[in-house]
Amino acid sequence: MARHVGIVGVGQTHHARRRTDVSQAGLVREAVDRALADAKLTIEDIDSVIVATGPVLFAAVNQPEKWVADAIGARLKPVVRVTSGGGTGLAGALTGYYQIAGGFAERVLVVAYDKLSEGALQYSISTLYDPFWGREFAVGIMGFSAAYWRARMDVLGHTEEAAAMVGVKNRKNAMKNPYAHVKKEITVEEVLNSRPLAWPIKLLDVPPISDGAAAVVLSSEKAAAQSTDRPAWIRGMGYFCEADNAAQRSMLVSEPLALAARRIYRAAGITNPRRQFDVVEVQEPYTCFELSYYESLGLCAPGEAAELISSGATQMDGDIPVNPSGGCAGANPIGAAGLIRLIEGAAQVMGKAGDIQIPNAKLALVQSGGGWANLRGVAVLSA
Amino acid sequence: MLAIPDSWAQDLTTFPSDLSMPYTLTPGRAAGTFVAEVKNRRIVGSRFASGTVVVPAQDFCPNTGDSDPELVEAPHTGTLNGFTQTDAGIIALIRIDGSDVDMTHRILGTALDGLKVGQRVEAVWGDGEGILAIEGFRIAANAPQGEIRPLEAPAKPVEQIPYRLDLHYEHAFGPYYGRLFDEIKTNRRIMGVRTSDGEGALLPPREIDDITHKPTGTWVELKQTGTVRAMSVIHLEFIGQTQPPPYIYAEIMLDGASTRLIHNVGGIDMSRAKELVKPGTRVRAVWREGERTGSLADISHFEVIDGEE
């Protein structure tokens, strides 16, 4: 029987477009120091360290877990690096979760980061494509994401206006998030009139490129009390994949996300996600993805996402607030983004989300994903 | 049904791929100060609260993980702790006097058989960038023992260092990609393989069906017409882009295929791109004139077939 695992400490950097004052190692250290302080622990209390980063071409340091080892206290401890594209942060947390749930560690430090200011982002992402098949036509992940949003418009009604509302909501929420660095409210008209980058994706549908790091301390039930009397308990966490180029792959509803949600909801006793969850954090690389996730996560039926956003239900004061943190719209250090979503969900159920606290949040849903929409994961957290 | 391809390419060996990626790296305070000072012919190290000294300077102690070291000036002398001959000369581990760790650098002016662990060395200054402002170290039998000193009036740390990764790959085609691109180059045919149940065709062709995990079937020539499944209009400019915007990124299902092909839809008035090309638009491959490369770029683009839905 798997053991209970809780999040007992969280930390993130004040994310920025470009941090020239610290190296990648220094950036990670800031998040680690904050997470350990939050958990009232020192690095001596940590049994195992997970390092999660995006593709190494983002920042030109191969095998970065070696480079940051001194900074994160990994010396003479078990260390593994996990990478899984944009969902790396959640995949890193999942690795730590397994270690504790399986009884192999009491406390695990999970660190995730990317310093995207250092490299050529879309070019790096284009190298994720098969060199024989499509790379020469790749536009990072933006061309692809925009293309399937265009397809969802016709079938599911994910209009440009609906996506713009997601951007307006998330930018507004980011205003109160002390760690976000994009702090400017926008209007639906401004989104619609912003410069097309990969139409239908326009400039204001796109998150920033960020330097940032995040860290969490995961703990067994036995060891948790030393850190907090109110951990964020992980009720379920999973990360699922679909074949990249298989026959008849549907890109309209995210099949791996729907699968992950179904499995994890069952484990966590969720039968009506819209009613049961108090708060949701999703990793929305572009505004259009948040609409798709509403449907894949079962917050509404396929084809109802535009109605859900325009109803106001996913606003801070709605019945199912999505991204009180502002999501990726406020900061998007890709490798860290999934772990940041987990941190924001955990902070809500731990009651320490500050200005972005949803009152009495007891049950949080967290989504993350990466790798060409192939890889999607969810976590359910409870007070 | 055949479990192996009935023919494959004889001539296509490898597919060359070059990536040239620009970076601006951030060294952080300690290494940034080292880089700033080394061109002033000062070698900067870090002294941590525990007393550990690290040369060249680092932000974090390798023994304790301590941060925020005092930056110190290290001597230009040290001891040879190990060495090896490489194509680029002799590379050595050098323990600068007063440091607790080795640094890696070149040995100049002495052949391999003249070196012994424990020999005294001193820095030879050059005009290179970064750590190569020290050209290398030379044997200096009588070099006096140097000392770590406080760093007076340190320069502001260098915050960004330009860098470039030039990566050259030779990807093996293998029998499936090999035949696909051989046929594209030689016969202007687009070849897939049947799915394991024979219901559709997989493009690119492959040995194992992704859904059933069974061997795929026989080769099949696909039609050069298809349907746009998803599309976007690219206005973004980015490093590494292979064509100037605007253009249409499209995922196309060729008639008879069960999987998508990524290409561009062209030959239209781009100012009306979003009206003229949509999911469902019928398209046809247009082959490129001139030299054939044996890649998807031998198809210039897909053109819209008027009047079909």
Residue A79 has pLDDT above 90, yes or no: yes
Residues B225, B267, single domain; the answer is yes
In a domain, B164, yes or no: no
**Domain count within chain B:** 2
Most B CBs within 10 Å: which of A139, A155, A160, as the mutation test of the B interface? A139
CA distances from residue B49 to A38, A214, B59, B69, B70 in whole angstroms, order as listed: 24, 26, 12, 7, 8
- Name the residue range of residue B139's domain: 27-159
CA dist A1 and A5 (Å) reads: 12
Residue B235 touches partner A, C-beta closer than 8 Å:
yes
The reply to whether A319 and A245 lie within a common domain is: yes
Are B70 and B149 members of one domain?
Answer: yes
The residue of chain A nearest to residue B17, with distances taken between CA atoms, is A131
Q: Is residue A217 in some structural domain? A: yes
**Cβ pair B295:A132 closer than 8 A:** yes
In a domain, B2, yes or no: no
Last-in-domain residue among A224, A252, A267: A224
Q: Among B159, B182, B200, where does a domain finish?
A: B159
Interface test with A, best of B29, B60, B277, B302 (most A CBs within 10 A): B60
Asked if residue A174 and residue A66 are part of one domain, the reply reads no
**Nearest CB neighbour to A118, from listed B24, B238, B297:** B24
Same domain, yes or no, for B119 and B155?
yes
**Within-domain flag for B249:** yes
Q: Which residues on A lie below 8 Å from B230 (Cβ)?
A: 144, 147-148, 150-151, 251
Same domain, B256 and B190: yes
Q: Do the domain assignments include residue B218?
A: yes
Residues of A in Cβ contact (< 8 Å) with B233: 146, 196, 198-199
pLDDT value of position B74: 98
Nearest to A200 among B61, B195, B232 (CB): B232
* A187 shares a domain with A50: no
Domain contains A127: no
- Do A220 and A188 lie in one domain? The reply is no
What pLDDT shows up at residue B4? 54
Instruction: Indicate if A373 and A276 belong to the same structural domain.
Output: yes
**What CATH code is carried by the domain that includes residue A28?**
3.40.47.10
Q: In whole angstroms, what is the distance from residue B228 CA to residue A147 CA?
A: 10
Segment holding A111, helix H or strand E: strand A107-115
Same domain, B151 and B214: no
Chain A neighbours among B 78-97 (CB < 8 Å)? none
Task: Tell me the per-residue pLDDT of B210-264, one tens digit each, with 9 for 90 and over.
Answer: 888 999 989 999 999 999 999 999 999 988 888 899 999 999 999 999 999 999 9
* Alpha carbon distances (Å) from A113 to A23, A56, A170, A337, B261: 12, 11, 22, 8, 33
Domain finish residue from A169, A199, A224:
A224
Same-domain pairing of B97 and B194: no
Contact A23 B17 (CB under 8 A): no
Average pLDDT over residues A330-352: 97
Of A312 and A373, more confident: A312
User: What part of B 41-80 touches A (C-beta under 8 Å)?
Assistant: 58-63, 65, 67
User: Does residue A274 sit in the same domain as residue A239?
Assistant: yes
- How many domains is chain A built from? 2
- Angle between helices A287-296 and A255-268 in degrees, nearest 10: 50
Domain-located, residue B118: yes
Q: Which residues does A98 contact at the CB level (< 8 Å), separation at least 6?
A: none
Do B154 and B178 lie in one domain? The reply is no
Query: Counting beta carbons within 10 angstroms of the beta carbon of residue B6, is it exposed (0 to 12), middle (13 to 18) or buried (19 or more)?
Result: exposed
Are B149 and B230 members of one domain? no
Same domain, A242 and A343: yes
Same domain, A11 and A154: no
Whether A60 contacts B163, CB under 8 Å: yes
SS3 B194: strand
* pLDDT tens series, chain B, 309 aa: 445 555 555 566 788 899 999 999 999 999 999 999 999 999 999 999 999 999 999 999 999 999 999 999 999 999 999 999 999 899 999 999 999 999 999 999 999 999 999 999 999 999 998 999 999 999 999 999 999 999 999 999 999 999 999 999 999 888 899 999 999 999 999 999 999 888 889 999 999 988 889 999 899 999 999 999 999 999 999 888 888 999 999 999 999 999 999 999 999 999 999 999 999 999 999 999 999 988 899 999 999 998 766
Report the pLDDT value the prediction gives residue B197, as an integer from 0 to 100. Answer: 85
Supply the pLDDT for residue A1. Answer: 61
Same domain, A172 and A279: yes
Query: Is the pLDDT at A2 greater than 70, yes or no?
Result: yes
What is the pLDDT at residue B242? 84
Domain boundary among A224, A251, A267: A224
Residues B189, B295: one domain?
yes
**DSSP label of A310:** H
Q: Higher-confidence residue: B7 or A312?
A: A312
- Check if A73 contacts B (Cβ < 8 Å): yes
What is the arithmetic mean of pLDDT over A141-162? Answer: 95
Domain that holds residue A337: 141-207+232-382
* Residues A302 and A181 both lie in one domain: yes
Mean model confidence pLDDT for chain A? 95
A1 vs B293 pLDDT, higher one: B293
Is residue A271 packed enough to be buried (19+ CB in 10 Å), middle (13-18) or exposed (0-12)? exposed
Q: Are B258 and A248 in contact (CB under 8 A)?
A: yes
**Per-residue confidence (pLDDT) for residue B9, from 0 to 100:** 55
**Are residues A150 and A30 located together in one domain of the fold?**
no
pLDDT, mean of residues A369-383: 89
Do B238 and B285 fall within a single domain? yes
Specify if A214 maps to a domain: yes
- The answer to whether residues A176 and A218 belong to one domain is no
Asked whether residue B236 is domain-assigned, the answer is yes
In a domain, A134, yes or no: no
Number of residues assigned to chain A: 383
Q: Which of B58, B231, B239 is closest, CB to CB, to A147? A: B231
- 8 A C-beta contact, residue B112 and residue B89: no
Q: Do B190 and B299 lie in a common domain?
A: yes
pLDDT of residue B6: 56
Interface size between A and B, measured as CB pairs under 8 A = 200
